Amino acid sequence: MPSLLELQHLSGFYGESAGVRDVSFSLSDGECLALMGRNGAGKTTTLKAILGMVSRTGQVSFAGTDITSLRPFEIVRLGIAYVPEGRGILARLTVEENLTLVAQGNRDAIREVLAEFPWIQQRLKNRGDQLSGGEQQMLAIARAIAVRPRVALLDEPSEGLAPTIVEQLHRKVAQMKQGGTALVIVGQDIEFSLTLADRLCILEEGRVHYVGAITSQAKAKELVVEALALSTKRSDPADGSSPMRIMEKVDD
């Protein structure tokens, strides 16, 4: 299958300093890549470099066209949806305005999304900041679905959410994938990402540590656990609880 999204030696910079260097991978329609790595590894910067939100070198291609010189809004308009860390819901706008804005008034898309997320119907007049964290994340995903993207870039979608919400969210993201949307899922939530992913990219200190197709879930999990645990022994939970989140989240 020809690639839908292809990164070739992509680096992203903050001023002079590189947040991530030399990332290459490709995705076809309906494929999912789990982009994993410890805090500060360069995951968010990779997404920002795809979108042109940081200065970059290397190349990003979408459906066979070089999009490296395009600006973020032009890239999003091509059909690449972005759900940033911390959801990116517009707090002072209502739920309805949040949806209408991204769907650019496409009533059919909004109707479909409301059928998918019936609870939203009751909250249309609420402001974004009057939703719970879980609801905000659901709304962020709903907005991404409403633009009917060909690729969705999801930054830490399950971060800080209760297990039942994570499950619901997982189902929605799985539906997006089944509908043919290619996905890049960023995060440290092994369960969430690897159950959806066909490919895995692990970043370490701003560079690619591993990239490849997932042939065995067990093997992939082993690779990720090892990469996330490296040199963070001191913060392993003493009670032997889940090693999946090794360091506390630090806001960007």
Ligand X SMILES: Nc1ncnc2c1ncn2[C@@H]1O[C@H](COP(=O)(O)OP(=O)(O)OP(=O)(O)O)[C@@H](O)[C@H]1O
| Binding interface with ligand X (CB under 6 A) | 14, 19, 37, 39-45, 206, 250, 252
227 binds, among ligand X, Mg ion, none (CB under 5 to 8 A by kind): none
Task: List Cβ<8 Å contacts ≥24 apart for 171-179.
Answer: 172/116, 172/117, 172/138, 172/141, 172/145, 173/141, 175/116, 176/141, 176/144, 176/145, 176/152, 177/30, 177/32, 178/30, 179/30
Is the Cα dihedral 217, 165, 29, 193 positive or negative? Answer: negative
Cβ proximity to ligand X: between 128 and 206 the closer is 206
Answer whether 29's CB lies under 8 Å from 5's CB: no
Cβ proximity to ligand X: between 43 and 56 the closer is 43
Answer whether 211's CB lies under 8 Å from 201's CB: yes
Cβ proximity to ligand X: between 239 and 251 the closer is 251
86 binds, among ligand X, Mg ion, none (CB under 5 to 8 A by kind): none
Binding segment for Mg ion among 35-43, 61-69, 171-179, 188-196 (CB under 5 A)? 35-43
Site for Mg ion in 109-148 (CB under 5 A): none
218 binds, among Mg ion, ligand X, none (CB under 5 to 8 A by kind): none
Strand, helix or coil for residue 8 = strand
**Distance, CA of 172 to chain centre:** 13
Cβ proximity to ligand X: between 100 and 158 the closer is 158
For residue 145, give the nearest of 114, 190, 105 by alpha carbon: 114
Helix axes 163-178, 133-146, angle to 10 degrees: 10
40 binds, among Mg ion, ligand X, none (CB under 5 to 8 A by kind): ligand X
Please select the residue that binds Mg ion; options are 11, 26, 44, 137, rule is CB under 5 A. Answer: 44
For residue 169, how many other CB atoms are within 10 A of its CB? 20
246 binds, among ligand X, Mg ion, none (CB under 5 to 8 A by kind): none
Cβ proximity to ligand X: between 80 and 202 the closer is 202
39 binds, among Mg ion, ligand X, none (CB under 5 to 8 A by kind): ligand X
Taking CB atoms, the residue at the shortest distance from Mg ion is 44
Residue in the block written with tokens 């690619």: 208
The least distance separating ligand X from the CB of residue 85, rounded to whole angstroms, comes to: 6
Cβ proximity to ligand X: between 39 and 59 the closer is 39
Q: Which residues bind Mg ion (CB under 5 A)?
A: 43-44
